Structure 1
Amino acid sequence: MSGGPGAPPLLVAQFSDLHLRAPGLTANRIVETNMLAARAFAAFAALAPAPDALVITGDLADRGEAEAYRLLAGLIERHVRVPVILIPGNHDDRAAMRATLGDRLAADDEAGVNRPAEHLPVRLLPLDSTIGGESHGRLGDGQLRFLRDRLAADPRPAAILLHHPPIATGIAHMDAIGLENAAALEAAIAPHAARVAGLWCGHVHRMIHGRLAGAPVVIAPSVAHQVRFDLTPDGPSALVLEPPAFVMHRWDGASFTSQMVFVDSYPGPFPFLS
């Protein structure tokens, strides 16, 4: 992992929007999310070089079922040998997460249900943007204070992790349930923007890039199903069975590059021939 010149790069994989169900059930009556998650974790375990950390940016479960979180715990136990940061999404149930994944979650409610990873060259600072029973997101005063304090206390670069994106995507039905106080997040990071290496989000089920207070924003695709690409103002809420994917963030000691990685294998590789 890159701590300076000559050091190997830091690699952080980002999964998002698993929407796990109790065994035998599907999401939206059509998506075999449990099977797709198992394939994603198997793909993660086969990566070479191996990532230094895994973050999962929300909607771990589709309906907050305890059985879904137990399934996730088993997948992590079998396939992951690096630090994992789990972030709740609007489909998650915090109490069920704590009951099933408590050993992987922070004990301090000020930090939501997340444990920061501050031992890496880039600190990973997770935020809880969920509002119980609501689809849209909001960062509470405690979350914003936690972020301001962590950014002010340490000059090292940091990546901020949350489920709801703080930028508009143009997909109207998703923007309507985005982060409602994105301006407060922008104000919190603005004094420290130079040390914010990225804001990594989920929720929209598409790979999207933007900026907030000058910092790069990356919205990850889902390792299950994707939201339909539709920039019409009245586009309906709909999913599509486009290829499952995740993001690999590569830190070179100065900045991140972020690449979308398909979970499944495809024909090739083939040599380029003249």
Structure 2
Amino acid sequence: MKTFKTLIAILFSGLFMTSTFAQEISISEVAHDVSNETKTVLKTEVEKILSSYVEDYSNDRHAKEKRIVGVEVPQVDGKWTIKITGEKIGEKKWEVSLIEGLPTIPTYVYRIELKTLRAINNGEINALTAQAKAFSSDYAPMDVHEIKDYKPTEDDDSALNAFSFHFWTKGFPEVIPFRPDATRRAHGSGVTIFYYEKGLRTGWYNILPGERVREDAREQAMPFPMMGVVIKGSAKGIVDGAPITVSEGNTVFIPANVHHKWWNESNEPVELILIMFGKGA
């Protein structure tokens, strides 16, 4: 059974961030914050941010689904439970609450770096991108783990991906950024995750000149089909052993379990929207 970490890792990685966001969560800045502000003040800030997401989600149509998850912010020693009962309060709102302390039942827990939480709250990066990694052992500034011997199914993991998008994206309709400074490094280029749910994964690649995508053979074949929609530039690649060039205005279809890799030999960035779908996606 794939764990949530494995599912979120299959497409996207990111030990290193690109320009602006890298500065947002640098270790030196985190240390500076903790040494110059009391944890009490920081914890109050975090609670206000989390409360704003709880309030926003109480108006979200997806809040009709019951869920309990935990949130940890290590820099402030903060631990909370987000409880969604699936019950309505009045005509429009759903019952969603923030409770201090981790859940007492087996479930998922988000572990979020303080700078990352601020960046998500400021619209500088979206939560699914902040969680992205190539392999489950990789670092991510917003990670998910299971507590109390929780053993989720693949359906549970897929549902959490969708929940992560809706809970951590405020407003309606939901809008997330995709631009070079809102990406994380993934398989050799900058990537933003758009949306995940069972049978569908979407994202955006920004491949800079000289970058090579999916050079690692372990990442070159997926167990489900995908389509790459080139919206800017021209990329060269190898699909099932055959050379190919795809340019702006073209879409390339790659069947399940077919090896492929890409690179940018031009002097301009290549932008590509990736759509992964079908059983196992």
TM-score normalised by length of structure 1: 0.30
Larger-gyration structure (1/2): 2
Which structure dedicates a bigger proportion of its chain to strand? 2
TM-score normalised by length of structure 2: 0.30
